[in-house]
Amino acid sequence: MTLRERPSAVPGLACLVWLGLVLLSPPTRAQAPDTEWPAYGGDAGGTRYVALGDITRENVSRLEIAWEHHSGDVCAPDSGCGSTTAYELTPILVGGWLYACTPFNRVLAIHPATGEERWAFDPEIDVAGRWANQLICRGVAHYRDASAVAGSVCAERILTNTLDSRLIALDAATGKPCPGFGVDGEVDLALGVGMVRWKGEYSHTSAPVVIGDVVVVGSAVGDNVRTNAPSGVVRGYDVRTGALRWAFDPAPPDVAPGGRSPAGWALSSPNVWAPMSVDEERDLVFLPTGNPTPDYASKWREGLDTFGSAVIAVRGSTGERVWSFQTVHGDLWDFDLPAQPTLFDLERDGRRIPALVQPTKMGLLFTLDREDGTPLFPVEERPVPPSDDGDLPVSPTQPFPTKPPPLIRHTIGPEDAWGVAFFDTRACRRWIESLRFEGVYTPPSRQGTIMLPGNAGGSNWGGVSVDTGRQLLIANVMDLPFVVTLIPREDFDRVKRENPGVEISPQDGARHGMRRETMLSPLGLPCSKPPWGKLVAVDLEAGDIRWEVPLGTVRDIAPLPIPWKAGVPNIGGPLTTESGLVFIGAAMDDYLRAFDVETGEELWAGRLPAGGQATPMSYRYEGRQYVVIAAGGHGRAGSTMGDSLVAFALPE
């Protein structure tokens, strides 16, 4: 009998081979589940943290661009637009789609694995308009209606507020305005806030937040224009109908030195232009307020500062104030709160305390109990320099947390002057000698006052990231001196005319205008010693600085592409991962970087097509982890302009 005639031989052999392969092969791993990034800050509390470990310290160097999306929405300084763009977006990811907004306020649905558009909605803002805060949209919000039939129109909606003061609800599936929300899917946010001199004086740049069935919006009001500017009122709207549910006026009920709006809200009151955060369980929305406008005038305010430059907790359902904590008394320095209050659980003595950390422009971190606003590290009232101008009364003390220490320097003198050449250093030394400076809260003056830090921070709108498991906070900060000079009213027109290109504002209603500028040497570099930008890790339990490293090089801002790691100005924020990585762009060179969260060691730098002045986000989709950052530059900061949303991932 031949082998062919023995039908059981081959099948039996094949079975043995197959069984051996099964026994010797490793078990097949199930594909890791997809994740979301459902809110601007990653979660409602803004931790900017992801529990993902696919990208690690060992493999991060292998990251490559997975896809790149171009919006086309960019206005460079010489483009002819009314303002420049700043692509400060952090997208959200819900229901398998990325939702983003462009500097022109267009809203996009983008595939998370390919970068292809599903739909685009254009609110048709006037790009040629005069926008006080550039053309900016930092993000959008998402709402899922549990009472609606799944898949029905606007059962899931994307909410966006625009530069021209509209709140818009869109169907997440189609991008079409939601019927029944306001008028044709829109609510007019300029109604009732007071006279707006030009459309861009009152606008909305940060994403709204959703708590329960209420969508909450703040506003951005043009700085230093006048004493009767639009109200800084914060409002909550019904997320289904657009009806006004509540309004929180950040001024005492008996205080309105600039008058009141048609709706009865105080004019020039502190506004909330930075991102807000939400504690759904406690029905709390946390508001980081600015200072009353104008920045450098105080005598006329008469109590309007009560809730200025403060963290305020309000009920999400009613708008009722629960508590407030002021970080600057009578703010005369434009030290308004610039960043989202970040919510986390602080581990202390075996307990977990519901906490909040508020970054500030001063480089100070205030750590508070988010249930009642009590400081979790002692806060001291320390004497600060007096004013030499009767029009500028100042508080005799300011609050300083005992821990953590300041993340940036608070002193500068002629001996600290810096330049790349002798004449450069000498010019800076003479300039410093001519100005007033007696510490971080030195009042503005007609002589000219050094502001260290300047109005850009310290921290800015990019905020911080908190790794709760490691009890580490990661912050990027700037360390730049500015100069503010008060201009007598009778000299204002002449000074304005003689100094084109310098920020000079009228402060109408006050007795002086203002001039504000970065303290730069003749060769265009800061007059203080580098680093001018840092990445800092703070031990949240101990309140100590764990490490700090310079952030960024001068490659893309110097006349020659020299990769000097000086630590440069930065705008944006950090992202941390469970695997122990910190991702950040922000610096004025065109890179996304990864650092070791434990040591601050730089592990990787990926080249971007334009400036990454944004905060990255991350997610896993179909088994692959992506890190996404907007790379469109920042017109006023002078970084490389573009229109890209870039996704990095490990090779497939």
To which residue do tokens 């506004």 refer?
271
Task: Judge whether 82 and 126 are in contact, CB under 8 Å.
Answer: yes
Task: Judge whether 597 and 539 are in contact, CB under 8 Å.
Answer: no
Task: Judge whether 422 and 523 are in contact, CB under 8 Å.
Answer: no
Q: Is 543 left (phi over 0), alpha (psi -120 to 50) or beta?
A: left
Task: Please confirm, yes or no, whether 544 is among the known catalytic residues.
Answer: no
Task: Judge whether 296 and 446 are in contact, CB under 8 Å.
Answer: no
- CA 614 to each of CA 86, 357, 543: distance values in angstroms, whole numbers, following the listed order: 9, 20, 27
CB count, 10 Å around CB of 530? 17
Strands (E), 406-463: 449-451
Q: Residue 570 gets which letter from DSSP?
A: B
Long-range pairs, 389-392, Cβ under 8 A, ≥24: 389/443, 389/445, 389/446, 389/486, 390/299, 391/297, 391/298, 391/299, 391/510, 391/511, 391/512, 392/296, 392/297, 392/298, 392/299, 392/332, 392/443, 392/444
User: Do you find a cis peptide bond into 531, omega within 30 degrees of 0?
Assistant: yes
Given 43, 213, 279, 334, the catalytic residue: 334
Please give the torsion angle defined by the CA atoms of residues 149, 150, 155 and 158, in that order, rounded to the nearest 10 degrees: 180
Residue 441 Cα to chain centre, angstroms: 24
Distance between CA 412 and CA 452 in Å, rounded? 8
Longest dimension (CA), the chain: 118
Contacts of 79 (CB under 8 A, 6+ apart): none
Distance between CA 524 and CA 546 in Å, rounded? 32
To which residue do tokens 């122990």 refer?
580
User: Do you find a cis peptide bond into 404, omega within 30 degrees of 0?
Assistant: yes
To which residue do tokens 């006023």 refer?
636
Distance between CA 308 and CA 327 in Å, rounded? 9
Residue 188 Cα to chain centre, angstroms: 24
Q: Which residues are the active-site residues?
A: 334
